[in-house]
């Protein structure tokens, strides 16, 4: 396997944190602008992928 699931999960988690940071920094007068919502949606997807990869890594680890 070229890239283990744990490494990918950590990478997706860090990218999700980065998108949350960019979303907070792009906040203008209100949180409900399109750029902030796009950043939050992308970070939610990154966190979802990260948690799925963590669970898959644990499943593989329990099999061994």
* Tens-place pLDDT, residues 34-57: 888 999 999 999 999 999 999 999
Domain containing 27: what range? Answer: 5-59
Check residue 2 and give its pLDDT: 61
Give how many domains the chain has, as a whole number: 1
Report yes or no on 64 lying in a domain.
no
CB 6 within 8 A of CB 60: no
What pLDDT, on the 0 to 100 scale, is given for residue 43?
96
Q: How confident is the model at residue 52, as a pLDDT?
A: 96
Mean of all residue pLDDT scores within the chain: 90
Q: Is residue 19 part of a domain?
A: yes
Sign of CA dihedral 31, 33, 37, 38: negative
């Amino acid at each position: 396997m070229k890239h283990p699931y744990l490494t990918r999960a950590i990478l997706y988690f860090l990218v999700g944190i980065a998108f949350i940071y960019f979303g907070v920094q792009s906040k203008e007068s209100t949180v409900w602008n399109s750029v902030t919502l796009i950043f939050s949606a992308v970070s939610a997807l990154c966190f979802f992928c990260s948690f799925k990869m963590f669970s898959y890594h644990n499943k593989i680890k329990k099999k061994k």
